[in-house]
């Protein structure tokens, strides 16, 4: 038995698992943000409810563990930011602990039991509030020991002009400290930022997508610019990694027509030619973080 966790800035989700296909969720807890002792206590309460003696604890979490220092960078949960989290949790819980970034766990879930089944190289892309990703090769995370691989949302990769015909795209500053990151234009907030930039109107990402699907010309222009900006960096990721499938998660993945547009644009910009969809909606719609954590706990393999 493994106890797996999916930990974000608002909730700690726990589950008992005997295989990635057999996951039994437990009631969620609120994430203590500023008190590490209470953070550990919340995890202990999940372990107590699970009962028995698990082999290990496997965690999908927001943030990234530096592979050299073993310290986590996690702005969403200040009480763990900068800690050697694996070592400290192992000491507190008296169990082996494995941890991976939530986007990595999404990619691992999709590679193991989702849209990436049967593919050697799977790049999982997140188009949610922002942009993230994870890379799995032969069923194993590239970031198995922590690291930043798959973070295609950051780096000055966004074009200075986009759309048909092209319009100028400002060098939007990113929370990572750089500018022109895909994260500034690629997620839901980025789509909203683009619409306001192009048309001077504030709309939600949902309303923009709905307007586009209903034939609204302004929304269609925004989607045209959005797809142009996102597709080139994603095509570069595919050329570099050799991924043969890109499952997408996050809120924007619910707009399958949008994913189809991104897929067509990406396949037109990569070296290898595919006569099938490459960028697809992720299949792990329910608790992909827990599924990915379970796979992580079982060494990356589905049973």
- Answer yes or no: is pLDDT of 117 > 50: yes
Is the distance from CB of 171 to CB of 157 less than 8 angstroms? no
- Retrieve residue 194's tokens: 């683009």
Question: 3-class SS at 60?
Answer: strand
- Answer yes or no: is pLDDT of 19 > 90: no
- Mean pLDDT value of segment 150-169: 95
- Answer yes or no: is pLDDT of 258 > 60: yes
CA–CA dist 169, 23 (Å, integer): 45
**Residue 300 confidence class, pLDDT cut points 50, 70, 90:** low
- Domains of the chain (ranges; CATH) run 2-104+286-297 (3.30.420.40), 118-281 (3.30.420.40)
Q: H or E element: which one contains 162?
A: strand 161-162
- Retrieve residue 207's tokens: 């309303």
State the average pLDDT for the chain. 94
pTM here is: 0.93
CA–CA dist 209, 247 (Å, integer): 20
- Retrieve residue 171's tokens: 């060098």
Q: Which residues contact 44 (CB under 8 A, 6 or more apart)?
A: 92, 93
- Answer yes or no: is pLDDT of 140 > 80: yes
């Amino acid at each position: 038995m493994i106890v797996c966790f999916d930990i974000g800035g608002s909730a700690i989700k726990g589950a008992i698992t005997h295989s990635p296909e057999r996951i039994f969720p437990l009631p969620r807890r609120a994430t203590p943000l500023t008190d590490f002792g209470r953070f550990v206590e919340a995890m202990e309460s999940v372990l107590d409810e699970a009962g028995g003696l698990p082999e290990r604890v496997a965690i999908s979490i927001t943030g990234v563990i530096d592979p050299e220092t073993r310290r986590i960078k996690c702005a969403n949960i200040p009480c763990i930011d900068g800690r050697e989290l694996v070592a400290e949790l192992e000491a507190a819980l008296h169990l082996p602990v494995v941890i991976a970034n939530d986007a990595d766990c999404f990619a691992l879930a999709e590679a193991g039991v989702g849209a990436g089944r049967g593919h050697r190289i799977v790049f999982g892309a997140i188009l949610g509030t922002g942009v993230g990703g994870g890379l799995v090769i032969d069923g194993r995370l590239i970031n198995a020991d922590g690291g930043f691989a798959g973070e295609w949302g950051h780096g000055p990769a966004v074009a200075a002009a986009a759309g048909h015909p092209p319009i100028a795209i400002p060098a939007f500053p990113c929370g990572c400290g750089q500018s022109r990151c895909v994260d500034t234009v690629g997620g839901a907030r980025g789509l909203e930022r683009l619409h306001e930039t192009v048309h001077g109107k504030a709309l939600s990402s949902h309303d923009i997508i709905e307007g586009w699907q209903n034939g609204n010309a302004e929304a269609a222009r925004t989607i045209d610019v959005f797809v142009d900006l996102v597709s080139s960096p994603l095509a570069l990721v595919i050329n570099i990694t050799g991924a043969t499938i890109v499952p997408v998660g996050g809120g924007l993945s619910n707009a399958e027509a949008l994913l189809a547009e991104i897929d067509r644009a990406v396949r037109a910009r990569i070296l290898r030619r595919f006569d099938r969809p490459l960028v697809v909606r992720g299949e792990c719609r329910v608790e992909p973080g827990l599924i990915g954590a379970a796979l992580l706990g079982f060494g990356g393999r589905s049973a």
